[in-house]
Amino acid sequence: MEQKASVHIIGAGVSGLIAAYELEQAGYHPVILEKQGTCGGRIQTIKVEDYQLDLGFQVLLSAYPLAQKYLDLEALRLRKLEPGAQILVDGKRFVIGDPLRNWKVLLPTIFSGIGSVKDKLKVVKLNFDLKKKSLDEIFSSPEVTTLEYLRTLGFSETIITRFFKPFFSGIFLETELQTSSRMFEFVYKMFGEGHAMIPQDGIGAISEQLKAKLVKTTFRFNCEVQSLNSTIITLKNGEIIPHEGTIVTANAAALIHNLTDAETEWKSCMCLYFEVDNTSIPPETIALIADEGKMSNNLFAYQDKKGRTILSVTTLKHQGASEEEVTEMIAHEVQTYCTTGTPKHIKNFTIAQALPQLTNLKYTSEPSASLVTDTIFHAGDTLFNGSLNAAMESGRLAAEGFIEKKSGWFR
């Protein structure tokens, strides 16, 4: 029986786990080198005292094609979020939703002060247009900012300011809608064709499920790579590992010296968790603060396994203030907007590399595009569009590129 070449994967995030899965299907026994003590990368649920907290508020869009391919969605016991949001602005609460999904939001949406009836009709038209537009068409469309895209479609400044900015700021992690219109169309289409969902055990259940599918893969945790060349991997502790092929999913810019456009800029955010006695946010609904000058962007309340009401708050305006100052300001806004008593602060997560800041977004590429040198391959959502689907696609393509290279299918 032919001995398969050894293959290493640097990084146990979603890209690395998918790459390992595809390599296993081809008969390989990958070795994953991960500098942290667990898998998942940015897709983690972390235990803090007796709380289970996601590393930032994150949702799974069930319409992602590769989520449907690689995940057992039923086993994740997904909680379905309402198709819309509660908007908090000028001391009032408005609901804006998709009446095609939930007829109960039809009248509140039409008569909300978030935008005009003309705006609401444009939202419905946008839904229909993007359902007909393929992913290939989306990612080959001219690329402008999301703000320019919405203005070109004729949306009023009111609905842009009161809905699109707060809602998509929480997704894009920037407040001025400068993100590519391709990303807007992709995410909007995914929202329209599926649901935003959260696993019952937290977002980290996605990573744990992918890890559990690996039966031939060796994990080496707390194992940080210092450098890499075409034949050896050098760890921070001085250990030398010979390799015949390596897929780099983490810290690629530092490890692959001739990587084109290696330096990726990142968007950051801070997610704060509180326990509250009650909240005016409806169940399974994202609340958005559209008032100018507020620290909070989006809020989400849920019941944990012990029946406690947990509130997550995401802010994009944490730079320049101390963590104590941010916590105090957010706690005050929570009391004001959620009509709750004094919130019990649990934990803050400051995520410096929350999302890559990208232009010229793509959906996919040829497997050969992942090849950097004769034995080194590159994966990660930074290659495509900064989504869970992109992380999976990049891992799949890097594994396929490695397999093709070893099979002599491309040189």
Sequence-distant (6+) residues with CB within 8 A of 346 are 48, 49, 51, 53, 273, 274, 275, 310
Find the DSSP H helices in 153-203: 157-159, 165-172, 181-193
Sequence-distant (6+) residues with CB within 8 A of 20 are 9, 30, 32, 214, 217, 399
Count Cα neighbours of 173 within 13 Å in the Cβ-side half-sphere: 23
Per-residue confidence in pLDDT tens, the chain, 411 aa: 345 668 999 999 999 999 999 999 999 999 999 999 999 999 999 999 999 999 999 999 999 999 999 999 999 999 999 887 888 888 888 877 664 455 454 445 554 667 788 988 898 899 899 999 999 999 999 999 999 999 999 999 998 998 899 999 999 999 999 999 999 999 999 998 999 999 999 999 999 999 999 999 999 999 999 999 999 999 999 999 999 999 999 877 788 776 655 578 899 999 999 999 999 998 899 999 989 999 999 999 999 999 999 999 999 998 889 999 999 999 999 999 987 788 999 999 999 999 999 999 999 999 999 999 889 999 999 999 999 999 999 999 999 999 999 887 544
- What CA–CA distance (Å, rounded) separates 116 from 91? 19
β pairing state of 218-220 and 225-228: unpaired
H/E stretch holding 85 reads: strand 84-89
Q: Reduced to 3 states, what is the DSSP secondary structure of residue 242?
A: strand
Residue 106: what pLDDT? 45
CA 191 to chain centre: 14
* Burial class of residue 81, CB neighbours in 10 A (0-12, 13-18, 19+): buried
- What CA–CA distance (Å, rounded) separates 202 from 354? 17
**Three-class HEC string of 111-147:** CCCCCCHHHHHHHHHHHHHHHHCCHHHHCCCCCCEHH
- What CA–CA distance (Å, rounded) separates 237 from 223? 8
- Cβ atoms of 84 and 289 within 8 Å: the answer is no
Of 306, 307, 74, the C-alpha closest to 197 is 74
Of 271, 280, 274, 385, the C-alpha closest to 318 is 271
* Burial class of residue 207, CB neighbours in 10 A (0-12, 13-18, 19+): buried
Q: What single DSSP character describes residue 56?
A: S
Phi, psi of 409 (to 5 degrees): -80, -25
Sequence-distant (6+) residues with CB within 8 A of 332 are none
- When computed from its CA atoms, the radius of gyration of the chain, rounded to whole angstroms, is 22
β pairing state of 344-357 and 265-276: antiparallel
CA 208 to chain centre: 16
Please measure the distance between the N-terminal and C-terminal CA atoms of the chain and give it in whole angstroms.
24
H/E stretch holding 353 reads: strand 344-357
- What CA–CA distance (Å, rounded) separates 258 from 373? 9
- What CA–CA distance (Å, rounded) separates 332 from 337? 9
Residue 5: what pLDDT? 65
- What CA–CA distance (Å, rounded) separates 93 from 373? 55
pTM: 0.93
Q: Reduced to 3 states, what is the DSSP secondary structure of residue 96?
A: strand
